[in-house]
Structure 1
Amino acid sequence: MNLADMLSFADMNQLTAIAGRYRCECKQNSKQDLIQTLLYTLGSKDFMEAQVREYSQQDLRFLNALLFDERSYLTLEDLLAAARAASFDTPAGQNGGYRDTVARFKNGGWLFNGTSQQSRYLFQVPKDLKERFRDRMAARLKEGVEPGGEPDMYREEGDLAAADLQALLRFVGQDEPELNLEGAMYRRCQQMLMNSLHIPEPLLTKGGWRFGYGRACEHYPPRLALLYDFARHRRWIAEDGQRLRLTSTGAAVLEEAKYESLMQIFSFWLRLYKGAIPNLPSLVYWIGVCADEWVTVKSLEHALGWLIKPFYYDDAGSILEKRILRMMLHLGMLRAGEAASGPVVKMTNWGMEMAQSKQLLL
């Protein structure tokens, strides 16, 4: 429902609270006057610009979470969890409790209770407010990025991830590589596999921490780890004792020589990295908004870094460059190059299509 519908179902207490929040001049005992005044106030262009400009980064992260939540209704626990996630490491009492955050947004006209007996204790966000917030946030973020100029040469991987997924299946089917005690292929086998891929990566060195980005990230470089986890998830390969083997399903896929859809790999990547980067879908969307032309990676980090929560030893910049932009490059969503201004990126047509897809705009 849109704002007008939700205001008409709201009780007088909430309408009065919203009117008081924005210092509206209207008859406090007239529901019709309250609704008309609030529609005029909250529907104005200045209102949304002021919200995006004046809200703290924590509040904007909370709204961003609501914007990309696909559920029609949210429980109080859902909202409290979103408020907690948006706070990053800020102590709960420093800017008011999480319940205070929910109450502020309810009194600000962003959250309304359901209209039926079953949904009266649930919450929803007006659809038109979501759309206007998305547009205003897009304008704000784009203001923060700098054009990078088209590089003389750039890298684009297209659908090579799908091709290398086939190469992985072929390698496993032919060699049935031996696994060490940790369940990983020996380095010699890994190097042989890398030599057969279109996009090879340096093998991992000893030391360092590796977790949170899929099961295979502990043993293999990020791109190979994604393909390995995807193939294992689809049950095309299986760790059978001390050997990695191709399953009958994997053999059928290989025999058909049919490339897996990049959309499927992209969707799997979103789910795989969600534990470490909970708001990854929204970040992909905003990157699509900001990088429709060549932009500098440095300015992209400046524009989006405040939306990214550090994950253990990965800071916001590292997550953006290594975990998001680089993987989007591997998935054919980005072009990357070097200009006079430094590293630059630009979305591909397919990347723009995926970044604006319904699964990100729910």
Structure 2
Amino acid sequence: MKLADMLSYADIGQLSRIATTYQCECNGNSKNELIQSILSTVNRKEVFEAQIGALKLEDLRFMNSLLFDAREAFSLEELIARVQQSKFGSSGGQQNVAAESPAGVGSGTAPPARKSGTKAQAPKRAAKSKAAKDRPEPESGPRETISRFKQYGWLFNGYAGPERYLFQVPSDLKERFKQSMERRLSAEVVYADEEPFAYRDEQMLIGEDIGHLLTYIHLNEVPLTSEGTMYKRSIVQLLEMFGVKEPLPGKGEWRFGYGRKIKDYPNRFSLLYDYCYYKGWIAEHDELLELTASGKERQALRTTEAPDKLYQFWLRLYKGPIPNIRSLVYWIDKLGAKWVKAETVMGTLTPYVKPFFYDQSETILEQRLIGMMMHLGMLRIGEHAEHGQVIRMTPLGRTIVAGLSLDDEAIVLNS
């Protein structure tokens, strides 16, 4: 639903709180006047932009996590978890750790009394000056954050039945928030006026290498170690056949979380292998890697695997370590509409990437996102005389992210 619809279902108490937040001047006893005044104020670009500009980084992360979720409604527990997950790697998040105690989550219940010192503290609390009482407490806990977003008119409860316990973001505000965020992020990056003198483009190669992998297994006996891993000889032979060469993982290198075989094989190779395994085309048994019946049928077709299918699989595979992967891909797509300095994209988006164990935010963005998007044929990486490394979305990548049909005749993949 849009904001106007949600306002019409909201009670007069919530409308009054929203109107107070935006300093609306209207009859507070008239629901219709409250709604009209709120809509008139919120729809003013400068007001909305000011609200966005005043948000802390963790608030931006929280809202960003809601914008790209396929679901339209969230429970209070889900929202609380998202607020807590949005506080990472920043001074604001560190400062708010103490506020996450039961006393600071706005639950309406008093904190348990301490066994010692309680009586001595009571007079101090009672003796606070009127000015101290009137001073608003900073809102830092998850429930306070959710309450603040409700006062902005960005979150609404359902109005009937079980839905009254769920929260939604107005659909029109979602789009406005995306547009505002795009302007904000675009202002932080540096674009190149000219084409780079060289760039790397892997469009369609990964789909072709699916066929190379299946054909290799079809024509060769591929032995596996007792741990179910191909021997180095087989891996090297396959890498020679592939359109993209990758170095083997180093001994003792930290690798887990990004797929079933990421610990054993190079990043791109691992994605190909996992894709074929989960499709049911290859099987590991008796220390041999073989094609299944469906794998033999797929190999006989000798067709290139559709890149959008590989993209969707990659999203699902990497969503565990990178929960907001869809939003990050979206912003890379928007910032990479033309050649942009990679370093500035990294600096702009790194604050929105949560570290995953020993994988730092910069590593995740560079290797797990930008690097893999290049392997999927969605992104070009070039070298520019003035700006150094630059990146740009391919027509194929922009089409996939937009969710459009790859059969569209207007798409020119090599432009």
Report deviation, 1:47: 2.1
Residues 1:297 and 2:342 aligned together? yes
Letter in structure 1 aligned against 2:357:
Y
Q: CA deviation digits over 1:57-86, x for unaligned, max 9?
A: 100111111111111221112211221221
Report deviation, 1:92: 6.4
| Aligned partner of 2:401 among 351, 355, 360 | 355
Distance 2:252 2:162 in 1: 53
Which residue of 2 is the match for residue 17 of structure 1? Answer: 17
| Aligned partner of 1:272 among 317, 324, 328 | 317
Report deviation, 1:310: 1.1
8 Å Cα contact 1:288-1:356 kept in structure 2: no
Letter in structure 2 aligned against 1:142:
S
8 Å Cα contact 1:288-1:347 kept in structure 2: yes
Which residue of 1 is the match for residue 8 of structure 2? Answer: 8
Letter in structure 1 aligned against 2:259:
G
Which residue of 2 is the match for residue 214 of structure 1? Answer: 259
Which residue of 2 is the match for residue 74 of structure 1? Answer: 74
Letter in structure 1 aligned against 2:36:
Q
Query: What is the total number of aligned residue pairs between the two structures?
Result: 359
Distance 2:268 2:48 in 1: 40
Distance 1:189 1:92 in 2: 53
User: Which structure has the larger Rg?
Assistant: 2
Report deviation, 1:258: 2.2
Residues 1:112 and 2:156 aligned together? yes
Moved more, 211-220 or 17-26: 17-26
- Residues 236-255 of structure 1: pairs in structure 2 closer than 5 A: 236-255=281-300
Consecutive unaligned residues of structure 1, counting only runs of 5 or more, are: none
Q: Structure 1 length normalisation: TM-score?
A: 0.96
Distance 1:125 1:225 in 2: 37
Report deviation, 1:296: 1.0
Local SS of the residue matching 1:213: coil
Counting aligned pairs with the same residue, the percent is: 46
8 Å Cα contact 1:92-1:98 kept in structure 2: no
Higher relative contact order (CA 8 A, sep 6+): 1
Letter in structure 1 aligned against 2:315:
L
Report deviation, 1:358: 7.6
Report deviation, 1:88: 2.3
Which residue of 2 is the match for residue 53 of structure 1? Answer: 53
- Would the alpha carbon gap of residues 158 and 358 (structure 1) be closer, same or farther in structure 2, given more than 3 Å must change? closer
Which residue of 1 is the match for residue 326 of structure 2? Answer: 281
Q: CA deviation digits over 1:34-64, x for unaligned, max 9?
A: 1111111111101221122110110011111
Distance 1:142 1:26 in 2: 37
8 Å Cα contact 2:208-2:303 kept in structure 1: no
Which residue of 1 is the match for residue 392 of structure 2? Answer: 346
Local SS of the residue matching 1:338: strand
| Aligned partner of 1:334 among 379, 393, 397 | 379
Distance 2:201 2:394 in 1: 8
